[in-house]
Structure 1
């Protein structure tokens, strides 16, 4: 009697993605770690391009997306003209929407690149598209009116100058292309990152139906039955103590740092030293918690910035009298230790500080893969995705349309 022939199940097709505004590839690494193949990257920053080439030397690398047609992008990625594309991801330059900048929104040249990216989504027609950006996108107007031209005795803001106008325009363009869109402001710590980093993520589906929100894996509270947030101590476990590269604090600031413990900032200095340490900033408004800030060991780190030694956004080691090193930055953004970052030290800080944490990329990948498999995601009702309210597509739309 013959032994039965074992049937070999066909391997599921590889899910393929195109990456735009790739930076040093934090989002892309997250996709790859979940099994999604990145076929192409793009960036205009010379240091980021060198980083991509160092780590993925055979990956097709494009420059300014405005210089490429949809057919040209398909060809560069090795896709047939009619081949269905699974996924496009990208984080268009965020300075146009940052609350720390001039908030020019889509008037800004970088904002126009955002619209170019949406046009490419409409032309390339991926099954899914993911757009990542800063929290300021939720409130940026379509057209910015300078503050000195607002107020009593001046014309009221028109609809295009109202809060949220830029995102409304973006949603309208995506909807017109047939995409259903969901979004939220996501704290990366809720997905396993050792960093409290909040980013808006738009999830777009070609079938016109909004996608579920990302499924959290960690939480700051025990009531959802998830593991607690990962900490700085956990992220740096096994990191060699020597061989770090970092900028330095001037001696006049180090004298105050030597008085601070892990997790403390300028408010923990002796009261009589605070005005001297802070200078004119002492009398300014706001919490100013970024001044003389040592990060805590047993919490996620604050949001990494592009320079850890700027007075208002310090990121100092919990105990050593120095800013965080680039090696520590990489661990907090979850890059492998052997992931090469090109450029000068300041260029390296900028690239890693701007990156998407790998855990957030993995959460995005898991959602996309679940949708392709027809799987239902785990839902956590009323989950605190971020510290802000009205940041999901339903409550945001309701609050924005209610504005005068």
Structure 2
């Protein structure tokens, strides 16, 4: 299957597709350091190093020539920060959200059979237009339709449907597909001239543990130093534990102002567990609220361990500084998850259907039908 890749990053999704026999006709990436990573590993891959908003179907036809007529699929993971539940969400009102809409319009203009979109869980609930919480309440006008939960995804689905595509999506935990990491992502598949594509089916009954994934690494580890406020306390924390394992008289000192905040705060002074998959890899493993410390050593997970936990090959070169390497890997699609997507679509295209089995994540009712009912679509 021939495909075009957008927001290609460190080529995690692309590697998974290529492992399954897909062929990338071209990629698109704007970040200079990430472009170095792409060229270091795939020097012959045609790449458009430009903002996607400057790319049109006509330009693609000019740059790809006759290959542009052979595109079976468009794939991409548009920037997720606009929808992330970890930060301030602005939905499609955010400039990055507008990039998402341009990606959808571009894909429709190219008119492949399949469009595959990977994004964060927050996409399911993000509004089209964000109203700050400080401007909500009885003294303010009711939320408009564009400000309602799910408005961003509603606009995306409407665009695909208006162009003749059927849309299916669901939330998936990548640890159920052989990735040694609990990473929850929405995968949306739009199909032209056909019904909705069935949902992916988990490939693994039991998750791969961190011990299985990284214990045999024999290399010089590259990592960012821990923060000075973390160093005195981590020796008191064992594998799979966090700040709650500290002696009571140290807990308040260790957390500072966060001690009085709400929530479980499970990421503070957290060591990952040898006998479980990793928590979601973030773009900086030393952040106080999402620390990803090694199970035993006094350091965060290394760049090399990040590669393993994202199922990248050990010999895949990640360019840039240590911080830039973490960022590229933390933003990547796990390679094995990309492979699962590719094999699922190949089987579907070949007329092979499988009965749904195990749950795809810890959440229920995350597919397009349950979502439509919950947001009144």
**Residue from 136, 142, 158 that aligns with 1:150:** 136
The alignment status of 1:304 with 2:281, answered yes or no, reads yes
**Residue from 303, 309, 322 that aligns with 2:299:** 322
Determine the structure 2 residue equivalent to 1:138. Answer: 124
Provide the rounded CA distance (Å) in 2 between the counterparts of 1:377 and 1:120: 32
The alignment status of 1:66 with 2:53, answered yes or no, reads yes
Counting only pairs closer than 5 Å after superposition, residues 3-402 of structure 1 correspond to structure 2 as 15-62=1-48, 63-80=50-67, 83-218=69-204, 226=205, 228-240=206-218, 242-380=219-357, 383-401=358-376
Query: What is the TM-score with the length of structure 2 in the denominator?
Result: 0.97
Query: How many residues of Structure 1 are paired with residues of Structure 2 in the alignment?
Result: 376
Provide the rounded CA distance (Å) in 1 between the counterparts of 2:287 and 2:328: 16
8 Å CA contact 1:189–1:197 kept in 2: the answer is yes
Superposed CA deviations along residues 71-125 of structure 1, whole A, max 9, x for unmatched, are 32234345346x3421110001111111233321111111111111111111111
Provide the rounded CA distance (Å) in 1 between the counterparts of 2:89 and 2:258: 23
Given the superposition, is the C-alpha separation of residues 150 and 342 from structure 1 closer, same or farther in structure 2, using an over 3 Å criterion? same
Tell me how far 1:255 sits from its aligned partner: 1.7
Query: What is the TM-score with the length of structure 1 in the denominator?
Result: 0.90
Superposed CA deviations along residues 320-375 of structure 1, whole A, max 9, x for unmatched, are 00011000000000111110111111011000001001111011101111122121
8 Å CA contact 1:390–1:399 kept in 2: the answer is no
Which structure has the larger Rg?
A: 1
| 1:153 counterpart SS class | coil
Provide the rounded CA distance (Å) in 2 between the counterparts of 1:23 and 1:392: 26
Give the CA RMSD over aligned residues: 1.3
Provide the rounded CA distance (Å) in 2 between the counterparts of 1:330 and 1:73: 32
Unaligned runs of 5+ in 1: 1-14, 219-225
Provide the rounded CA distance (Å) in 1 between the counterparts of 2:67 and 2:135: 52
8 Å CA contact 1:40–1:76 kept in 2: the answer is no
Unaligned runs of 5+ in 2: none
